[in-house]
Amino acid sequence: MKKLAATLTLAAAALTSGACEPTPRALRAGTSPVSGPIAVSADDRHIVIAAEDHDAVVIVDRATQKVVRRVPVGAGPSQLVVAGDRAIVSSRYGHEVAVVDIGSGDVKTVIPVGAEPMGLAMLADGRVAVALGGAQAVAILDLGKGAVDQTIALSEPDPRAVAVLDNGDLYVSHMSTGRFSRVTVATGTVRVVDVGTPNQFGPRLVAEHLRSLTIDPESGHVLVAHSQANQDTVRAPINDPEAPPADGGCGYSGCPTQLGAVVPGVTEVDPGTDVVVVPDGGDAANDPGGCFNCDVSRPGFGFGGQAAPPTVLNPFDGRFGGVPLSNPTALALFDGGRGQLVVNMGTKNVVLLRRDLKGQAADVVGFAKVGNGADGVALAHDGETAYVWNQFDGTVSELKLPRVGRDVASRFTDDDQGATTAQFGPVPEYAARTFAVVEDALPVEASIGRKMFHDATDSRIAAQGTVSCASCHPDGRADGRTWQFTFGPRNTPQLGGDILDTAPFHWPGDVPTVAALNDMTVLPFMGGSGLDNGSFQFVAAFIGTIRQAPSAAVTRALTELERHGEEVFFSEATQCGTCHGGAHFTDNRSWDVGTRADDRDITHFQTPVLHGLHRSAPYGHDGKYQDMRALVDDLVRTDKMGKGSHLTDEDADALVAYLNTL
C-alpha cells in the first residue's frame, strides 16, 4: 500500500506541474489466484470448474447459473487456468494436463506430466508450469508440442501452487514446509525461500497448507492465505489438573490466553527481496481505533500493541467479533487491491479484510457464509463479483464485493479514545447466493464424514470453532508437524491408503477403533462435546476413501537403484519386511526399537504404515529424523530396527530410494 500511495502522489504531482510522465500502471479491479479449482472465462460469460470428485471440467453460464457442458478429463482434476478460449487443467490422480476448449467442450490436448500435477501458471512464452506434488518437481509444458519440455527437481516435498514473477522466475509453494522454491526456468536452478512470519512477542509459527498463490499486479508481491502451526506450545489435555500452568489446558483449539495449534494467516512476500512483508500494526497508545486484546503480556495477542503481527488471523482477537476462522484455502484481491478476500474451508465462510492490516477492528470489512469444502475463488474481470467453489456440496457461492473505504461503515459507535469491547459494532455479514452445479459423487456416509472431518464449527468435534480433523490432516494426509504433549512429542501420521485395516491407531496403539478417538482425541484435546458411535462411522467411511499420496513411481518403472533398494527391504538378512509387511507395510503391532524420547514417554510404538512416506517427513513417533537416510543410519544400520548393520552406504542409498517410491 505504501507503493500505491507513492504512485498516486507522483501522478498527482505530474498532473499539477504539467510534466510529461508515463501514466502509472493502474490497479486491476480484482485479482484471482494464479490457478485453482474455479476460474471465470476470458469473456466473462462462463464459470469454469475443475470438479475433482467427478473427473470432469464443468462449464457454467454466468447469466443463468446453469451447467452448459461437462467435459470428462483425467482422474481428479484439481486446478486450472484460463488462457483465451481454453482451460488448462491438471488431473492429480490421472497424472496429466488437459487442454479444454471452453466453447465447444473439446479436449484438444492431453499431456502426461508426472505424479500428481497440481497448480499451474502461464509463462510469458506461452508454455505452462505445473507443480508435480508426487514427483517433487515442476514441469514446463509446451502445449503446441503436447509434451513436457523440462522437469526441474525441487529440494522441498509436496509442491502445490505456482506463480510467475515479474522477471520470469517461479515461486512454487510447498504444502507443509512453510517455504517456497524460487525457480529460474532458463537455468533450472532452485533456491528455497522461508515464508514464515516473524512473531517476536509470541510463539514461533510455521506456515503450512500453502495451497494457492495470488499475485498483486501492481506491486508484483505474492500473497497466500494459509494455516500456521503453533507447534512449540505443549498441548495438555483440556482441564488436566496435572498440566503445568505454563502448558495451559486448552488442547488443540487454544483459548483466549493461548494460540491454538493451527491458526489462520495471510502472508505477503516481496519477490524483489524474497522477504515476508509484515505490516507495522497500530499503536495501542495513540490509536486505540478498535484495538482489543492489547495486553502484550499475553504472548501471541495484543494485535494493536506490540505482539503478534496483524497478518496472524487469530480467531480469538476482538477485531473478528466472534466470526469463526479456520483452514484458509485461497485469497483474492478486490477493489483494486485495497481489500483481500480469504476463503475458509474449515468455517464455511469468506472474510473480507483491508489490505493494510493494523490489527484493529477496522481491518475486518465483513464476512459471508458459503458452502462445504470451499477451496477456491475466482473474480469476474470487473472485480465486482466473486465466485467460491464448494467442492463437498458441488455448489458455487456468488458474492457481490464492496468498495473498501466507500461502502464500508465503521464498526465503532463513537470516537471515544477509550474504546471498549462494547463499542464495537458487529462484523457486517454480506449475503452470498449459493447455487448447485453438480451432484454429490461420494457415497452418503463418506460424504457426511468428509464434511465432519473438515468442519471446525461442529461443536461435537472441537470447541471454539478453530480447528478440525483436517487442521492436522490436510487432504487426509500428514501436516509434517511434531506436536508437543505432556507425555512426549508426537509426529502426525498420514491417513491415506485405506488405513482402516491397520488398527489399533495412534503411535502407542491405544485406539482400537475409529470410534475410540472420541475418548482419546475429541474430548481431551479438541474440546468437542463428543460423537456417538454412529457418527464416527461417517468419519471412518470418509477416511476409507482417502487416496494414498502418489509418488513419482506411479508414472514409471522402478530405477535400478530403487529395485536394489526393494531387494534390500525384503531380504531375509535385513528383515524390514518382517514388520513392514502386507498391503500397508505394517504388522499392526507395537515394538521397542529404542526410540523413547525421554523418561516421560512409553517404550513401545506401533509399526507405521509406509504409504506416502516420501512426503511425510519428519520421521519417527517424535519427529526426530528430518530425512529417511538419517533414520536408516541411526536405527536400521545399528540393528535397532531390523538387521541392517551389514548395509554399505550404497545399500542404504538404495533402500532410501525404494522407500521414497512408496
Q: Domain boundary residue among 438, 456, 480?
A: 438
Q: Say what the pLDDT of residue 411 is.
A: 63
Residues 183 and 223 both lie in one domain: no
Query: Can you state the percent helix, strand and coil of the chain, rounding each to 5?
Result: 20, 30, 55
**What value does the mean pLDDT take over residues 238-259?**
69
Residues 180 and 226 both lie in one domain: no
Report if residue 387 sits inside a domain: yes
Report if residue 449 sits inside a domain: no
Within 8 A by CB and 6+ apart from 238, the residues are 249, 250, 251, 463, 523, 524, 525, 527
CATH no. for residue 84? 2.130.10.10
Is 422 exposed, middle or buried (CB count within 10 Å of its CB: 0-12, 13-18, 19+)? exposed
**What value does the mean pLDDT take over residues 134-149?**
97
DSSP-derived secondary structure for 515-565: GGHIIIIIIIIIB-----HHHHHHHHHHHTTPPP---GGGGSPPPHHHHHH
Which helix (H) or strand (E) segment holds residue 215: the answer is strand 214-215
Residues 202 and 280 both lie in one domain: yes
CATH no. for residue 592? 1.10.760.10
Residues 218 and 351 both lie in one domain: yes
Q: Domain boundary residue among 194, 229, 258?
A: 194
- pLDDT category at 4 given cuts 50, 70, 90 is very low
Report if residue 87 sits inside a domain: yes
Q: Say what the pLDDT of residue 657 is.
A: 96
Give the domain range for residue 570.
Answer: 552-659
Mind listing the pLDDT tens digit for each residue in 541-590? 999 999 999 999 999 999 999 999 999 999 999 999 999 998 889 999 99
Q: Domain boundary residue among 142, 159, 194?
A: 194
Number of domains in the chain: 3
Residues 238 and 148 both lie in one domain: no
Mind listing the pLDDT tens digit for each residue in 349-390? 999 999 999 888 889 999 999 999 999 999 999 999 999 999
Residues 187 and 66 both lie in one domain: yes
Work out the mean pLDDT of the chain and round it to a whole number.
87
Which range has the worst mean pLDDT, 8-12, 488-492, 618-622?
8-12
Residues 157 and 235 both lie in one domain: no
Residues 125 and 176 both lie in one domain: yes
Mind listing the pLDDT tens digit for each residue in 492-510? 998 988 888 888 999 888 8
Residues 173 and 278 both lie in one domain: no
